[in-house]
């Protein structure tokens, strides 16, 4: 009985394992992984918070839905707040992991680069913080902005302002025409400066190299180009042997003439190339290495010869000395001493390129226009400001108080002209309605009393077109918190006057 019970218990345990453990194991074994790239600025607070939220969200989702047969695998990459690093990370994710989508990046300038990559590879790029209007969905259909515009975040910003109990949020507006004028000038200046900076940076990162259009002498002869050679050189016979026409061969004498003919070109009474012996060409290149380059195959000739009498004992000694110089490093030292090397030529060439790049003096006209516009706007503003506040300057108070009053007036926010005129018109309408008794006042706040007793003269400071006219006196008493104000309105058919009591 005992063996049977033991076998039965083992079988029951095996069935339970198959029922409860095996399905889960099978699900995990057959789960499909989906690679998703994430590009964030890990050195920022937003990047760290986004990384933690994404990891917790995926962990919580699969904890609650463990029966899903798909698993998202996040591949985090740090963009380091740099557009180039972010682009490199996107290329790595697409190439090494074949990600199905990329979350991020945080900045609009990073998204501008990655959006083109996503459209080319047809991989969705989903950014939740890039809101630049330059990121067009029509040009990059695979780029998705979670926040289409900055205004979509206004509710969140308002909630933060309310929670922090901030009493004022300032929004800068350009109201004055002078400010708009200066702003346009400065926007133009910044646009030119940024474009010039980009061009200068590109030229610094790109090494300029001379690439001749023709590298074979046979092509020159076949195209009928003019070819130069040194006077008295055997090169003339060599070129004729290669098939060059004698009318296309131009004799040259000095390095300066070499430069002049090469600068003109074959179509302007010049030459397209010069064929000469290496020692002479090195002399020309040492002087004009930034303009020309030695190209094409080198044709071997017998070289220079030294004549000695027959049986001269100097022949073996001179030949041995020449061979020693040619085969030793001393020949290289002599060449570097008398002819500039290619490295030195490249360095001086780069120096020449840098000297022709944009400098601060290149923008003196732009800076002059911006400075004149800003100075003119400031000068006009000061004239208007002092003219509007001339009563302060004309007052008989100490200079210190004048300066304080001017500073206080300058610091005060000036209302828009339309708003100020509207308020002034509203006040005048209220006064007229009060004089006619058409205002409905709140009990206890304001009271009226009308008097028509006899004839009286107006108060001091008032005037009437006809003396001795019957006036209707209307007294309005307004109570506003701890203030008590009374106004006396006198009206007749010709005029409406009021005096503060």
pLDDT tens for 345-379 read 544 444 444 445 566 777 788 788 888 888 888 88
Q: What are residue 447's phi and psi, to 5 degrees?
A: -130, 150
Q: Is 16 helix (H, G, I), strand (E, B) or coil?
A: helix
Of 326, 327, 340, nearest to 286 (Cα)? 340
Q: How confident is the model at residue 431 (pLDDT cuts 50, 70, 90)?
A: low
Per-residue HEC secondary structure of 282-299 comes to HHHHHHCCCCCCCCCCCC
Higher pLDDT, 343 or 73: 73
Question: What's the CATH architecture for 210-299?
Answer: 3-Layer(aba) Sandwich (3.40)
Cis peptide before 348 (omega within 30 of 0): no
Residue 265 has pLDDT above 70, yes or no: yes
Residue 482 has pLDDT above 50, yes or no: no
User: Rounded distance, CA 388 to CA 391, Å?
Assistant: 8
By mean pLDDT, which of 147-156, 191-200, 245-254, 461-470 is the weakest? 461-470
Per-residue HEC secondary structure of 251-312 comes to EECCHHHHHHHHHHCHHHCCCCEECCCHHHHHHHHHHCCCCCCCCCCCCCCCCCCCCCCCCC
User: Rounded distance, CA 77 to CA 317, Å?
Assistant: 71
User: Rounded distance, CA 28 to CA 71, Å?
Assistant: 9
Q: What single string gives the DSSP state of each residue in 322-390? A: HHHHHHSTHHHHHHHHHS--HHHHHHHHHHHHHHTS--GGGGHHHHHHHHHHHHHHHHHHHHHHHHHTH
- Residue 283, classified by CB atoms within 10 Å of its CB into exposed (0-12), middle (13-18) or buried (19+), is middle
User: Rounded distance, CA 491 to CA 431, Å?
Assistant: 12
Higher pLDDT, 100 or 218: 100
CATH 3.40.190 range(s) for the chain read 210-299
Q: In what order do the strands lie in the sheet with 273-274?
A: 249-252, 227-230, 273-274
Say what the alpha-carbon torsion angle 316, 320, 321, 323 is, to the nearest 10 degrees: 140
Of 105, 168, 170, nearest to 132 (Cα)? 105
Higher pLDDT, 362 or 302: 362
CATH 3.40.50.2300 range(s) for the chain read 19-157
pLDDT at 170: 60
User: Rounded distance, CA 316 to CA 322, Å?
Assistant: 10
User: Rounded distance, CA 316 to CA 157, Å?
Assistant: 95
Those residues with Cβ within 8 angstroms of residue 47's Cβ, 6 or more apart along the chain or in another chain: 40, 41, 78, 106
Higher pLDDT, 302 or 455: 302
Question: What's the CATH architecture for 19-157?
Answer: 3-Layer(aba) Sandwich (3.40)
Give the Cβ contact number of residue 77 at 10 Å: 20
The pTM score is 0.31
Give the Cβ contact number of residue 83 at 10 Å: 17
**How does pLDDT run across 108-159, given as a tens digit for each residue?**
888 888 888 888 888 999 888 776 766 766 678 888 877 666 666 677 778 8
**Token pair listed for 445:** 């706040």
Residue 37 has pLDDT above 90, yes or no: yes
């Amino acid at each position: 009985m005992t063996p049977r019970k033991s076998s039965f218990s083992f079988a029951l345990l095996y069935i339970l394992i198959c029922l409860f453990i095996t399905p889960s194991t099978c699900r995990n074994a057959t789960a499909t992984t989906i690679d998703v790239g994430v590009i964030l600025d890990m050195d920022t607070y937003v990047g760290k918070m986004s990384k933690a939220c994404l990891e917790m969200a995926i962990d919580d989702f699969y904890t609650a839905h463990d029966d899903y047969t798909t698993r998202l695998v996040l591949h985090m990459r740090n963009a380091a707040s740099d557009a180039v690093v972010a682009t490199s990370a996107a290329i790595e994710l697409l190439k090494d992991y074949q990600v199905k989508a990329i979350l991020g990046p945080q900045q609009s300038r990073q998204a501008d680069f990655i959006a083109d990559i996503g459209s080319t590879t047809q991989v969705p790029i989903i950014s939740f913080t890039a809101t630049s209007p330059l990121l067009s969905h029509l040009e990059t259909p695979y780029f998705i902005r979670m926040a289409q515009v900055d205004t979509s975040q206004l509710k969140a910003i308002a909630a933060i302002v309310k929670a922090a109990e901030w009493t004022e949020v300032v929004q800068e507006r350009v109201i004055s025409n002078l400010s708009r004028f200066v702003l346009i000038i400065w926007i133009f200046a910044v646009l030119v400066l940024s474009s010039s900076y980009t061009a200068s940076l590109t030229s610094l990162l790109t090494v300029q190299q001379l690439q001749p259009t023709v590298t074979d002498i046979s092509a020159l002869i076949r195209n009928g180009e003019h070819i130069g050679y040194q006077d008295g050189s055997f090169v003339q016979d060599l070129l004729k042997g290669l098939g060059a026409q004698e009318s296309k061969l131009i004799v040259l004498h000095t390095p300066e003439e070499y430069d002049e003919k090469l600068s003109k070109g074959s179509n302007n009474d010049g030459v397209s190339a010069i064929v000469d012996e290496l020692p002479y060409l090195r002399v020309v290149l040492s002087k004009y290495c930034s303009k020309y380059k030695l190209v094409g195959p080198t044709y071997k000739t017998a070289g220079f010869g030294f004549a000695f009498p027959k049986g001269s004992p100097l022949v073996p000694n001179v030949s041995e000395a020449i061979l020693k110089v040619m085969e030793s490093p001393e020949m290289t030292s002599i060449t570097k001493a008398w002819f500039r090397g290619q490295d030195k030529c490249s360095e001086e060439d780069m120096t020449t390129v840098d000297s022709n790049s944009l400098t601060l003096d290149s923008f003196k006209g732009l800076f002059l226009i911006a400075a004149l516009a800003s100075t003119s706007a400031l000068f006009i503003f000061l004239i208007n400001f002092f003219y509007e506040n001339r009563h302060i300057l004309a007052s008989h108070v100490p200079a210190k108080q004048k300066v304080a009053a001017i500073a206080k007036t300058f610091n005060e926010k000036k209302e828009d002209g339309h708003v100020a005129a509207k308020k002034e018109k509203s006040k005048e309408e209220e006064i007229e309605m009060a004089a006619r008794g058409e205002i409905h006042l709140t009990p206890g706040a304001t009271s009226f009393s009308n008097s028509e007793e006899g004839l009286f003269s107006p108060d001091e400071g008032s005037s009437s077109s006809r003396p001795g006219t019957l006036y209707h006196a209307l007294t309005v008493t307004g109570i506003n918190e701890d203030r008590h104000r009374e106004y006396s309105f006198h009206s007749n058919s010709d005029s409406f006057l009021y005096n503060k009591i």
